[in-house]
Amino acid sequence: MADAFAITTEAIDADAVRAAVLGPESGAVVVFHGTVRERTLDRRVTYLEYEAYEPMALKAMTAIADDLVREHGVAAIACTHRVGRLDIGDDAMVVAVASPHRAAALAATADFIARLKQDVPIWKKEHFVGGAIWIGSPEDPQGEGSRPPEEAGA
């Protein structure tokens, strides 16, 4: 499943992510687009910046997918995550999960996204009117995500 994961600076080809999971067991295919939104809490977002430690990020995504294939009995999982500057409406990530049945595909999609945000070395800096913060840093009022690259040693 290692070829099913990518980090890119370009716009994500969602059709290619979906195609990476298609197979004879694909009774259900879920494709999730994580897009850049204009508001977070009371802040108007102007753009996001993502950074990643690519070799470790790809290894972590593969390991998460391997776990979830076993746990949920899905056929395949693929994900492409974008790094660099992303504007409002851009896809930050596209995840595709194929399974014989929809319930497993939906559950595995939600679990993959949650684990990606928690365990994969991809960092998000939110630029908003009046400033910018690394999501997951002590200054982040959402209090979620991972530490910024400076603190994580990347």
> DSSP labels for 20-82?
TT-STT-SEEEEEEEE--SEETTEEEEEEEEEE-HHHHHHHHHHHHHHHHHHH--SEEEEEEE
Q: Which residue has the tokens 């996001």?
A: 48
Specify if 129 maps to a domain.
Answer: no
Residue 69, C-beta contacts closer than 8 angstroms, at least 6 positions apart: 1, 75, 76, 77, 108
Residue 149 has pLDDT above 60, yes or no: no
Domain that holds residue 93: 2-120
Give residue 151's pLDDT: 44
Specify if 138 maps to a domain.
Answer: no
Residue type, 3: D
Q: What is the largest CA-CA distance in the chain?
A: 51
Specify if 79 maps to a domain.
Answer: yes
- The more confident residue out of 109 and 148 is 109
Specify if 133 maps to a domain.
Answer: no
Counts for the chain of helices (H) and strands (E), in that order: 4, 9
Residue 144 has pLDDT above 60, yes or no: no
Give residue 135's pLDDT: 83
Specify if 154 maps to a domain.
Answer: no
Are 1 and 65 spatial neighbours (Cβ–Cβ below 8 Å)?
Answer: yes
Q: Global pTM?
A: 0.86
- Give the mean model confidence (pLDDT) for residues 27-54: 94
Specify if 145 maps to a domain.
Answer: no
Number of domains into which the chain is organized: 1
Specify if 76 maps to a domain.
Answer: yes
CATH number of the domain encompassing residue 106: 3.90.1170.40
Specify if 150 maps to a domain.
Answer: no
- Compute the distance between CA of residue 47 and CA of residue 26 in angstroms, rounded to an integer: 36
Residue 154 has pLDDT above 80, yes or no: no
What are the tokens at 135?
A: 């999501």
